[in-house]
Amino acid sequence: MKNKIANKKFVYLISPNKIKSKFFYKDLEKLFKTKKISFFQLRLKTNTLKEKLIIGKKINRICKKYKVKFIVNDDPAIAKKLNSDGCHLGQKDMEISDARKILRNKIIGITCHNSIALVKKAVKNKANYIAIGAFNASKTKKVKFRSNIKLLKLVKKITNLPVVAIGGINNINYKNLLLNKANFLAISGYIWKNKKYKPVEAINSLK
């Protein structure tokens, strides 16, 4: 196996669950300047619609400045209002076909957990990317579905869709996922909740 990672912009950065600090936006710009981030997903579970739109507009401007794809979690309607690059759907969210009616040709990604059946369904429904995992224990949310490298290899055999690996990814375990052809790594807790490193230090540890 080659020990070379082809995709230098391999980070799919997910927002913290709450964005309150004014320093967040400055940190986000610093992170984007590292040129390691391809996607940024806004994942706010407890904010009001108004708050999500205010925060989302600020983030969208920063994403456009640094040419990072801006993805909204769960809600295609908010994604459309923000004119984001697309939306990420969980298995309990809207069907891809219904989301496509709202977002047209925008990016639609979907979580497939550790299920080949869900991967095949996503391919059939013309998702733009699939997310699989969790590959490790996560600080962001409880892990119900565990995945492994064997499944990742199988997924890569059955589809050419970009694969986003999720779940507790850090500077110890990230490289094995990339070397086994995960296209992007969804990272949140390691960046935003890291007790050892500041956000930019954390992302720079992913070399």
Alpha helices in 108-183 (DSSP H): 116-124, 149-158, 174-179
* Maximum Cα–Cα distance across the chain: 49
Q: Answer whether residue 126 is part of any domain.
A: yes
Q: Answer whether residue 127 is part of any domain.
A: yes
- Band (pLDDT 50/70/90 cuts) for residue 106 is very high
d(CA 113, CA 2): 27
Q: Answer whether residue 4 is part of any domain.
A: no
Q: Answer whether residue 30 is part of any domain.
A: yes
- Band (pLDDT 50/70/90 cuts) for residue 202 is very high
What contacts 118, CB < 8 A, 6 or more positions away? 91, 110, 112
60-78 per-position pLDDT tens digit: 999 999 999 999 999 999 9
Q: Answer whether residue 5 is part of any domain.
A: no
145-199 per-position pLDDT tens digit: 889 999 999 999 999 999 999 999 999 999 999 999 999 999 999 999 999 999 9
Alpha helices in the chain (DSSP H): 23-33, 49-66, 76-81, 96-103, 116-124, 149-158, 174-179, 189-192, 199-204
**Cβ atoms of residues 130 and 122 within 8 Å:** yes
115-142 per-position pLDDT tens digit: 999 999 999 999 999 999 999 987 666 6
Is pLDDT at 2 greater than 50 in this prediction? no
Q: What pLDDT is recorded for position 6?
A: 59
Q: Answer whether residue 118 is part of any domain.
A: yes
Residue 119 belongs to domain spanning: 11-204
What is the total count of domains within the chain?
A: 1
Residues β-bridged to residue 185: 11, 165
**Tokens 């080949």 appear where?**
116
Q: 195: closest CA among 167, 175, 173, 170?
A: 170
Which CATH number does the domain housing residue 55 bear?
Answer: 3.20.20.70
